Amino acid sequence: MFMDLDGTLAVSPISSVIKEAYNYLALHSGISVSEIESYSWRTHIELIKRSDPLAFDWDYIYREVSKFFGVSPGYSVEKRLQELCYLSKLLDNAHEVLAGLARSVDTLILATNGLIKYQRCVIETLGLDKYFGSIFTPDTRGCLKNCERFYAVSTEHGRRIVVGDNYTFDVYYPKRFGLKAVYVLRSGSDPYLKWLGIERVYEPDAIINNLKHVPLTLLKL
């Protein structure tokens, strides 16, 4: 079973760190934050279309944005995240849920689009690593969660089920690749649908609003 991290199990300070980085760039370039964010987002989306792990390497994107606007970077997303990682928060009493799942499923895999250099401090700060047999990230798998080989595991791992909160990466692509999908409904908003030209053609196998429902949901699939 593949379990998503950001927005599903936890909330990390990465979004606020990225915003801080672009505010820093705007301050030192005279370019508006909205223009900087727009270029960053376009770069991010083009990399996603190629399933390039660099799509979620925020320092790489920050350097590309800085280069485009002719400004010296002078900021490290990874370093700043390390400083603020204590702000990471667990969702839905996830420890209790994961402890139960670790005993009941064949293999529990943490599957995230975030690179390990950004996710490690979140995982360790929240004590999540002890529940998972493996941690799948784009830099260890060679592609993003929109790539079929990201989910490639031996048949001994049993049923392939994804649990996550993002329709694009946790429902659309897994269903397209023949996996089952449990959609954790945190927000109906998903900007990737528009930017990637995706329509909601696949229905999740189950929709839940709290991780406590995962064990019973799995029994029904």
Domain boundaries of the chain, sorted by first residue: 2-12+87-220, 14-85
The predicted pLDDT at position 140 comes to 95
Alpha-carbon span 130 to 12, nearest angstrom: 19
Token match 């009493």: residue? Answer: 93
Say which CATH superfamily domain 2-12+87-220 falls into. HAD superfamily/HAD-like (3.40.50.1000)
In eight-state DSSP terms, residue 205 is S
Write down the pTM of the prediction. 0.94
β-strands 10-11, 89-90: how paired? antiparallel
* Average confidence (pLDDT) per 10 residues, the chain, 221 residues: 97 96 93 96 97 98 94 92 97 96 92 97 97 96 97 77 98 97 92 95 97 95 90
The predicted pLDDT at position 155 comes to 63
What is the DSSP annotation of 163-201? EES-HIIIIIHHHHTT-EEEEE-S-S--HHHHHHT----
- Determine the longest span between alpha carbons in the chain, in angstroms: 56
Candidates 1, 8, 203, 11; CA nearest to 122 is 11
199: left (phi over 0), alpha (psi -120 to 50) or beta: beta
The predicted pLDDT at position 125 comes to 97
